[in-house]
Amino acid sequence: MKMQKWLGALLCSAMIVGTAQAASLKSAVGGDHRTPAYAERDQYRHPAETLEFLGIEPNMTVVEIWPGGGWYTEILAPYLMEKGTFYAAHFPADTSSDYFRKSRTAFEKKIAADKKVYGSIRLTAFDPAGGSEIAPAGSADAVLTFRNVHNWMRGDNEQKAFETFFAALKPGGVLGVVEHRTKPGTSREDMMKSGYMTQDYVVELAKKAGFELEATSEINANPKDTADHPKGVWTLPPSLRLGDQDKDKYLSIGESDRMTLRFRKPAAE
């Protein structure tokens, strides 16, 4: 009888902890601090479900790769603020790219403007060619990259990128990848041109770096996306590269079809 009561109390405690964590993520996603235009994209990006699938908890050390304007940063920063550690690995400060430099400067201004939300962020840099430390080696519980892998192909740096993620993670750590998805068998040239990647190729990159594929999810799938648009993935929202041309058509499709992958760095033996 005592054992039953003890087990019941333990189960109740676990449920309370899980509910508290879910409520914390819910408040981070639904907070007033979020940019309204960003929040409108939740219907395509499913941030709460995605982070839950990737196993992100508020006491983790998490690295976000190339956060851009801070779409996911707006959620991760408050979620990890009290108990976790959050590294935002943006473009290098000494980059020769004018676009990268402006993007990082805008991000720095964004996090400086609201210390209550972003004050605990540790800003680092990620250079896919290597030589940058996104976080101390072996320190991260999770590394997350959202719609970035295709960008590293143009410099032939996608494999080095995954190796950098592997080095930053603790044994047993998670690599979460969300990426635009095209049909199997698409050539490397077409992937580079379109911004879409095959799921098999992304999985291969991770495995070559030492990761194990733990799970896949269709959370961010979009069956209406044919992945064969005139301006590649940038034809669709939010880019709408064709402007007003067929705008309603592409808005009705929505954002791209995406793979959502969870990899694990093997635990130390």
Q: Does domain 2-264 have CATH number 3.40.50.150?
A: yes
Buried (b) or exposed (e) across 214-236, using 16+ Cβ within 10 A? eeebebbebeebebebebbbbbb
Alpha helices, DSSP H, located in the chain? 2-30, 36-39, 42-45, 47-53, 73-80, 98-113, 115-118, 158-168, 188-194, 199-208, 247-253
**235: its two tokens:** 């034809």
**CA nearest to 256, candidates 230, 237, 242, 240:** 237
pLDDT of residue 269: 56
pLDDT of residue 16: 35
CA 10 to chain centre: 33
Radius of gyration (Cα) for the chain, nearest Å? 19
As averages over each run of 10 residues, the pLDDT of the chain (269 residues) reads 42 39 81 96 98 98 98 98 97 94 97 95 95 94 98 95 98 98 97 98 98 98 98 98 98 98 90
pLDDT of residue 23: 53
pLDDT of residue 132: 84
pLDDT of residue 130: 84
pLDDT of residue 163: 97
pLDDT of residue 222: 98
Q: What is the pTM of this model?
A: 0.90
